[in-house]
A and B are shown apart, each in its own frame.
Chain A
């Protein structure tokens, strides 16, 4: 069965500290992977997707096919990074083509 796991419900770090939000997936094929973010009182929005290989707001995410992981990283967290983060694989093979969202990690960056 297709599954995505975000093991941490809550991650709390101090400003300036590195942060890593974990995401593991289990799929038979090679999915496209997304990270979505939801800031307080704002709508859910795309943060980054692995195929674009971009760094958005200082965040990067590397797809590790061997470990089936897509962890989100930032070397120096800022208070404005506090938000809810969702990992979402998009199965490209043998599916109806829907995003499957993890349960999310709430990131809290303290001053």
Chain B
């Protein structure tokens, strides 16, 4: 383990509040990703970033926002516009000699009360 970390492990939010999930990596990877994992749905891509100061929407970007000001960090904000935010969120990164392989963080479980 190590290399890519996510915090917090568990997060509770009241409806109507924005919340930011942290993702940090020290693997010197250029690319970073955010996925949402729901039972029976697999992993769905929210946002990704191939390089600092640039990011693109994935398949389910509505209600989420990201920033990529530093290579090591790719925070995800779940906004009040996200209709069903309770889920398990996974961050990943890729790069280096095995550039197509993604390395995953331990995840953050968000629960909206």
Instruction: Give residues in A with beta carbon < 8 Å to B.
Output: 9, 32, 34, 43-46, 49, 86, 90, 96-99, 101-104
Question: Given A34-B101, A43-B1: A103 and B41 within 8 A (CB)?
Answer: yes
Are the C-beta atoms of B42 and A86 separated by less than 8 Å?
yes
Q: Which residues of B contact A97 (CB under 8 A)?
A: 50, 100
Are the C-beta atoms of B42 and A99 separated by less than 8 Å?
no
The CA-CA distance from A43 to B43 in the complex, in Å, is 13
Are the C-beta atoms of B90 and A44 separated by less than 8 Å?
yes
Are the C-beta atoms of B104 and A43 separated by less than 8 Å?
yes
Q: Which 9 residue pairs are nearest across A and B when measured between Cβ atoms?
A: A103-B42, A101-B43, A44-B104, A43-B106, A101-B42, A90-B100, A43-B104, A104-B42, A46-B101
The CA-CA distance from A9 to B45 in the complex, in Å, is 20
Q: Which residues of A contact B105 (CB under 8 A)?
A: 43
17 A-B residue pairs with CB within 8 Å:
A32-B100, A34-B100, A34-B101, A43-B104, A43-B105, A43-B106, A44-B43, A44-B104, A46-B102, A49-B101, A96-B56, A97-B100, A98-B33, A98-B58, A99-B100, A101-B35, A102-B42
Q: Is B16 an interface residue (CB 8 A)?
A: no
Which B residues, 91 to 113, have Cβ-Cβ distances below 8 Å to chain A? 92, 100-102, 104-107
Nearest Cβ on chain A to B84's Cβ, whole angstroms:
17
Nearest Cβ on chain A to B68's Cβ, whole angstroms:
15
Question: Given A98-B33, A98-B45, A98-B48: A103 and B40 within 8 A (CB)?
Answer: yes
